[in-house]
Amino acid sequence: MSLLERISGPRDLKALPADRLPALAEEIRAFLVEQVSRTGGHLGPNLGVVELTIALHRVFDSPHDAVVFDTGHQSYVHKLLTGRRDFSGLRRAGGLAGYPSRAESEHDVVENSHASTSLSWAHGIAAGRVVRGERDRHTVAVIGDGALTGGMAWEALNNIAAEEDLPLVIVVNDNERSYAPTRGGLADHLATLRTTQGYERFLDWGKHTLSRTPYVGGAMYETLHGVKKGIKDIVAPQGLFEDLGLKYVGPVDGHDEPALEAALRKARAFGGPVLVHVITQKGRGYEHAVNDEGDQFHAVGVINPETGLPLEIAGRSWTDEFADTMVQLGREREDLVAITAAMMIPVGLEPFCRRFPERTFDVGIAEQHALTMAAGLAYAGLHPVVAVYATFLNRAFDQLLMDCALHRAGVTVVLDRSGVTGPDGASHHGMWDMSISGVVPGLHLAAPRDGQQVARAVREAVAIADAPSVVRFPKGTVAEPVEAVRTVGGVDVLAEPDEDDVEVLLVGVGSMAATALTAAEKLAAEGHRVRVVDPVWALPVPDAVVSLARAARRVAVAEDNVVVGGIGSQVTQALRDAGVEVPVDLFGLPRQFLEHASRGQVLDAVGLTPDAVADRLRAGLG
């Protein structure tokens, strides 16, 4: 039996002799490479926290003590050490989630995989337990240097530092990266800490000198104190944390398990908020991940573990279309600038950044700042394009509404991974953005149906100078181009019957245009007359959609956004306002959190397939 097979929970780990821990760490890394290469998942982050996670579970007593992982993509080792060794279905329907899951284990605390939230969670848990008189229970927050760039983390730090007796340990997992290298002032500060080794030695020298001096006069003491303070400012920038009121421990080698245990035990015994600064190497133990400058091993698909290369060659992606369009527009317009929140590579802005570095801003995990900064850039005479995942627009709604829309700022927001994203689960489905955008006055939203339309929509979006615009597209390989048979008032007609008598006007929004076309073909084969249209610009609802609805007996809208407040709701309201009395069928995502599964499985489960759409429409038509 391997060492890993003997671990069914933290108690087994604590009972393991310390000299066997390096072998356990090697087994865990080999297991992760073997298993994740078969299923896909977050490989690099987990390889980097093996010793750290072992030390956490040997020092603390989960679930009596709460361990909160920021973002949670580095929780695979935690899953293994808490008895979950079946990784065969990782991120697949019915298998282990790619993030912590309360349904899986009592050891999992926070399921939301949006970054920079762990310190607020930990503060609440620790303070709540103090109120309940449970002072023997510690709370640990594990946060990366990337997530520490988020403003919410600093709001939490500000409050945590004010509570001197809070049994809370903050572990900063510093690997110099989020997706890509961490940028900004905080990154520079942590880099200084990583390279600083002199302060503790200076304190030891000072203590030794004073203890061996029979009498230290005031002047000598003042001199020593002044020298100490000066050197501290130079070699001990941990003062940033200590000045807040946090005890600082570190930096600690994140791959030296005994040193980690010693630091964590010291922090646990302190009795108040402590920050333990741990230096780790992302991708540790797997050469391909360690040498990965483009960070392709942060999250991988199915790969050959020997070569690190994908087993399936993906086609051209939606992101590729956006990336090429941005570079082309950058050449044409000197006023075009790009902003992202620690996701330069995933959202396709790296080519633009290489070509126009002075016009590219990576603000770290700070979506709120990104949107308000964009409003400022627009005021200064530029046109900013803010590119983030669709799920992260939720975090910057107030800024989109009050800073961009209220001020009529010409800001374009490009949302990658919109709609159902699949294996990353509930927190990563980009299914709320069109409902959020729909309540913003003056906002324009485009949902391109294919790669050609991505280029068209982005080009048209950056031409809007007096209001915010949004362009959203899904994850994965780009769809085959769908040509319009004609255009009516800017709305593309994709298919229609020969007769003027239209039974159903079927509006396919974005990637759902293909689903709408196939559903219409099924109905047409049965003799039903269906016109399929793609508004491309879905918000505000085009007048042409209303006029085309007048000529139909029924209207249906298919979208991969939550039905409540989505494009279908907007179309329904537009028809009512225009006095068009026709039944409207809404096809979209239910108002619930959708579990991890493939995109196809999720769409099938919620009735967003051609067969399901055709069946419902057929029933409505009688």
Sequence-separated (6 or more) residues with CB below 8 Å from residue 234: none
Amino acid, res. 610: P
Give the HSE-up count for residue 505: Cα atoms under 13 Å, Cβ half-sphere. Answer: 28
User: Residue holding tokens 């046109």?
Assistant: 383
Alpha carbon distances (Å) from 139 to 67, 121, 125, 143, 228: 6, 10, 7, 13, 33
Q: How far apart are the first and last CA of the chain?
A: 64
Contacts by 123-127 with C-beta closer than 8 Å and gap 24+? 123/156, 123/159, 123/160, 123/166, 123/168, 125/66, 125/68, 126/166, 126/167, 126/168, 127/163, 127/166
Of the candidates 92, 177, 395, 472, the residue annotated as catalytic is 395
Give the HSE-up count for residue 589: Cα atoms under 13 Å, Cβ half-sphere. Answer: 28
CA 389/CA 254 separation, integer angstroms: 30
CA 317/CA 474 separation, integer angstroms: 9
Instruction: Judge whether 287 counts as a catalytic residue.
Output: no
Sequence-separated (6 or more) residues with CB below 8 Å from residue 498: none
Sequence-separated (6 or more) residues with CB below 8 Å from residue 622: none
73 is in an annotated binding site: yes
CA 491/CA 503 separation, integer angstroms: 19
CA 316/CA 318 separation, integer angstroms: 7
Helices 151-160 + 118-131 axis angle, to 10: 30
Nearest to 75 by CA among 110, 57, 99, 43: 99
Neighbours of 393 (CB within 10 A): 24
Nearest to 566 by CA among 510, 487, 515, 518: 510
Which residues does residue 487 pair with via DSSP β-bridges, in sequence order? 492
**Element holding 250 (H helix, E strand):** strand 247-253
Of the candidates 261, 367, 496, 559, the residue annotated as catalytic is 367
DSSP strand E in 118-190: where?
139-144, 168-174
CA 406/CA 389 separation, integer angstroms: 23
113 is in an annotated binding site: yes
Of the candidates 92, 282, 417, 472, the residue annotated as catalytic is 282
**Element holding 384 (H helix, E strand):** strand 383-389
Instruction: Judge whether 282 counts as a catalytic residue.
Output: yes
88 is in an annotated binding site: no
Which residues does residue 419 pair with via DSSP β-bridges, in sequence order? 430
Neighbours of 621 (CB within 10 A): 15
Instruction: Judge whether 222 counts as a catalytic residue.
Output: no
286 is in an annotated binding site: yes
145 is in an annotated binding site: yes
CA 611, chain centre distance (Å): 32
95 is in an annotated binding site: no
Specify the length of the chain in residues: 622
Annotated binding site for thiamine diphosphate: 73, 113-115, 146-147, 175, 286, 367
Just list the catalytic residues. Answer: 282, 367, 395
Residue numbering of the annotated binding site for Mg(2+):
145, 175
